[in-house]
Structure formats: structure tokens, C-alpha cells
Amino acid sequence: MRSPWTARGAGAARGVGDARPVVYGPVHATHEHRFRAQTPGTLTLRQFIESLRRWTPEMRQIAQIALTRTEAERQRYLQQFHAGHHERGAGPLDSFVRWAYSDPRLDAVPALLAELDRPEADYADALEHEADVLVTMRGEGKTPAQRVRDFLALLGVEGSEQVRAGLAGIMPPGTPEPVVIATLRVMRRRWLERYGDDAFFAED
């Protein structure tokens, strides 16, 4: 099976800023004396994406394995992990394991890493005004949790012919496809500029 980290952008997480604290999502612990959770809502969308650069090799390995498993397999592993933690003792990455195997947002990590590593050439010739308007329209009147979900849903959509055709339909006639694709990518950049302070783990 191809590793989820082999996609372009996977290298963005390697060996950066080891001295800085690593942050990831809130984990609702069954045994609070062993597993310390972050306060839900304290990490913004922008902060979560930047924190990916600081994942240690051990964290990347845990996430890589979790990404190859189905939801049911993750749940079974987590149950076994909970059942055996008294015998093996608490570890420094226990909370991270619990998060990686319980939060479906882990599935977005490879695409987020690709965004971190995306070269400026990928944004060339984008229609900046159209991107701004579309982001405003899509985000208006929504809660932070809804906007975070919408941002994650935008990851990689330029690979969909249906999405490209839909966007081309509201752009000036004859807009070349590379411009449509670049505009979609700029939409994600504008989204982070405008809504990057939304709490990544906010719930409706």
C-alpha cells in the first residue's frame, strides 16, 4: 500500500523546529491522571496547520499507520490501547495516539502537508478577485466549526473535473483550466487569511 506521506508535500513535516512545543488536538481522556488533554477550541485552524511542521518522526509514524486503517480498525485499536495502558504504563505520546485514532480530521493531514509545501508557481495567474468573492460567499453566516469543515472540504478539489467545471461556469467565458485550478488554490489561501483564527476543534 502506498504511504500517505509519499504525496507531494509530505516532506514539509520533517525535522523542523524541534525546540518548539508540539501542538495537536484535544483528546477526551478516560483516565485524566494518565492522559492530559488540551482545552477544546484553543488551537486555531492556522495554528494546527503550522503545528504539522513540528511533528516528531514518532508522531508522523503513528499518524501514518492510523491513516492506513479503516474507521472500524482505528476504533478496535483504540479499545485495545485503553485496555492495556495500565500494564504498559503511560507514555509521552499516549494523548497523540488517542487523538490520531479517534479524530477523523486526521485524514486531512496529507493534503494539509501538501498545502504547506505548495510552490508559488501553483498560484500563478489565479483570478484573485473571484477567489476573494467566493470565499466571502462560502464563509458568510457560518459558525467556526462549519468554516473549518468547509476549508477541509476544499483540499484537493482541483482534482475533480466536476468542481473545475462548476467554477469555470461562474468565471469569465473562456477562462483557461490552469487559471481555474490556480483560483481554487488561492481560495484556500484566502480562507486561511480570513478565517484562520477559527478554532480547529470547535463543535457546533
User: DSSP per residue over 146-168, as a string?
Assistant: HHHHHHHHHTTGGG-HHHHHHHH
**Average pLDDT of 143-166?**
95
Residues in the chain: 204
Q: Could you report the per-residue pLDDT of 76-124, keeping only the tens digit for each?
A: 999 988 886 667 767 889 989 999 999 989 999 999 988 998 999 999 9
Residue 23 clears pLDDT 80, i.e. is over it: no
Confidence (pLDDT) at 122: 96
Rounded to the nearest 10°, the torsion over CA 161, 164, 169, 171 is -160
What's the predicted TM-score (pTM) here?
A: 0.72
Sign, Cα dihedral of 155, 160, 164, 166: negative
Closest by alpha carbon to 59, among 21, 7, 2, 114? 21
Band of residue 70 on the pLDDT scale cut at 50, 70, 90: very high
CB atoms within 10 A of CB 136: 11
Q: Could you report the per-residue pLDDT of 177-199, keeping only the tens digit for each?
A: 999 999 999 999 999 999 999 99
Of the chain, the percentage scoring pLDDT greater than 70 comes to 77
Mean pLDDT of the chain: 81
Confidence (pLDDT) at 41: 53
